[in-house]
Amino acid sequence: MTKQRIISTNHLSETLSELLSELSYDRLFVLTDEHTARLCYPLIEQTLSEGYHITIPAGDDNKHIDTLCHVWEELSSHGATRHSLLINVGGGMVTDLGGFAAATYKRGIHYINMPTTLLSMVDAAVGGKTGINLHSLKNEIGAFCPADTVVVCSTFLQTLDTANLVSGFAEMLKHGLISTEEHWAQLMHFDLNNPDLAELQQLIMESIHTKEHIVEQDPTEQHIRKALNLGHTLGHAYETLAMRHGTPCLHGYAVAWGLIGELYLSHLREGFPADKLRQMLSYIKEVYGTPSFSCADYDELYELMKHDKKNVAGEIRFTLLGNIGDIRINRTATREEILEMLDFVRES
């Protein structure tokens, strides 16, 4: 898989103009959702005036085949060829779906990601995963197809509400846990209430470098890339449960609660230090609150975890930690231990 070019900038228009001048393409297309069309596209509209603008409905519940077909049809009806260029301007929903559209249209066209949320900057837009949901199952259909370039600019984060900023920060906490104690401590002391965008941009790039280092070793998630799924086995299950119950939550909140569950399992199975588990629990409770599920939901959560893509032969596989940076992939747990993990998350 080709390595992505990551550009960190605080000068959007200039950077984008330089980037486009370096590239060869016959037609330019820009994909946004309804929110980024209103809040983010105006920041770069003049620079992208030559492009045809495609807008899709916002929200992860629109990351499905019908929306994908609309993008394909827009590309086709406005003359896109295999030499065209697509620029995705948006959060993870836009970069996931837009990337998959680019990966599959004419068997693949070039594309650029311009993530506009913290979550997409440190997670969805980087690493080459693209895809859509199938019914209520997240990212069930997709392909590994990295963007040629990812343009990261914290200026976009000024358009973000607090909940979405906090949501994205959960993925950064995950990167801290799988990298070094120093990076984890930096994140734990960052002031989310009054974020310094310059400092945040540096932390974002550290998160991206952590992910890039892992993806380079294992582009298609056969081995160490599974480290990036820390917190996601439980997190994705809870996210799906909340969607089914009509009370959807932001992805990062589900991941934060998933981190607590899987760090507890790490303590139980791999000896993860109790003091660091307590630190994370205190931080997550203060910043993310607590998830809303009961004992009556345990069977459904367990069944949803059985759909995780890391699983082998129906056996639930977790990414766990022996300590910060000490990654243990392909770990299993008994049903009783998993239910104990759910008890810990619910009661804590």
**pLDDT 10s digits, 279-306:** 999 999 999 999 999 999 999 999 999 9
**pLDDT mean over 340-347:** 96
pLDDT class for 60, splitting at 50, 70, 90?
confident
User: Is the model's pLDDT at 313 over the cut of 80?
Assistant: no
**pLDDT mean over 17-27:** 96
End-to-end CA distance of the chain, in Å? Answer: 42
Same domain? For 216 and 80 the reply is no
Same domain? For 105 and 250 the reply is no
Domain that holds residue 58: 5-159
Percent of the chain clearing pLDDT 70 (strictly above): 99
Helix (H, G, I), strand (E, B) or coil at 328: strand
CATH number for 75: 3.40.50.1970
Percent of the chain clearing pLDDT 90 (strictly above): 87
Question: For residues 264 and 277, is the Cβ–Cβ distance under 8 A?
Answer: yes
Same domain? For 78 and 168 the reply is no
Domain-ending residue, one of 159, 180, 198: 159
**pLDDT mean over 154-161:** 90
d(CA 181, CA 341): 24
Host H or E run for residue 227: none
Question: Count of alpha carbons within 13 Å of 267, Cβ hemisphere only?
Answer: 17
Number of structural domains (the chain) is 2
Domain-ending residue, one of 133, 159, 185: 159
Domain-ending residue, one of 94, 125, 159: 159
CATH number for 236: 1.20.1090.10
- pLDDT tens figures, 69-86: 999 999 999 999 999 999
d(CA 103, CA 13): 26
pTM for this prediction: 0.89
User: Is the model's pLDDT at 189 over the cut of 80?
Assistant: yes
Phi, psi of 87 (to 5 degrees): -115, 120
pLDDT class for 316, splitting at 50, 70, 90?
very high
**pLDDT mean over 16-42:** 96
- The tokens of 99 are what? 């990337």
| Alpha helices, DSSP H, located in the chain | 12-22, 34-39, 65-77, 92-104, 118-119, 162-177, 181-188, 197-217, 232-244, 251-270, 274-288, 298-305, 335-347
Phi, psi of 310 (to 5 degrees): -80, -15
User: Is the model's pLDDT at 62 over the cut of 70?
Assistant: yes
Closest CA to 173 of 159, 157, 190, 158: 190
